[in-house]
Amino acid sequence: EAQVTQNPRYLITVTGKKLTVTCSQNMNHEYMSWYRQDPGLGLRQIYYSMNVEVTDKGDVPEGYKVSRKEKRNFPLILESPSPNQTSLYFCATKGAHHNEQFFGPGTRLTVL
């Protein structure tokens, strides 16, 4: 079954404590992306990766890092989380010849 998995699904943490949200896909897709979703602001793209060699910023990259060492994984790293990074995070992937993005189930992050 084609899947995008995210871990953890829920996380409560404190300001400044480094965390990583993992994203993994089993569809052999080149493209992967991270979004955050906030009430009234909609979905905003954080980073995207066209393939394992190319990663680029989306609209709201500040405070985030990503890593694409292998095709199937695209972790999102918050080196020093702050309360304004409290949000619902989605990972997504799509194939080269299709523009349909498959989204993961989401990670709800709370930074105290």
Partner 1 sequence: EDQVTQSPEALRLQEGESSSLNCSYTVSGLRGLFWYRQDPGKGPEFLFTLYSAGEEKEKERLKATLTKKESFLHITAPKPEDSATYLCAVQAINGSGNTGKLIFGQGTTLQVKP
8: contact with partner 1 by CB under 8 A: no
Name the segment binding partner 1 (CB under 8 A); options: 13-21, 28-36, 61-69, 73-81.
Answer: 28-36
Distance between CA atoms of 49 and 70, rounded to whole angstroms? 11
Residue 34 or 75: which CB sits closer to partner 1? 34
DSSP class per residue in 52-88: TTEEEE-S--TT-EE--SSTTB--EEESS--GGG-EE
Longest dimension (CA), the chain: 42
Residue 41 DSSP one-character state: T
Nearer to partner 1, 19 or 88 (CB): 88
Cβ nearer to partner 1, comparing 47 with 78: 47
For 99, other C-beta atoms within 10 Å of its C-beta total: 7
Single out the segment in contact with partner 1 by CB under 8 A; choices: 18-26, 55-63, 64-72, 75-83: 55-63
Instruction: Give contact residues for partner 1 (rule: CB under 8 A).
Output: 4, 31, 33, 35, 40-45, 48-50, 56, 58-59, 90, 92, 99-106
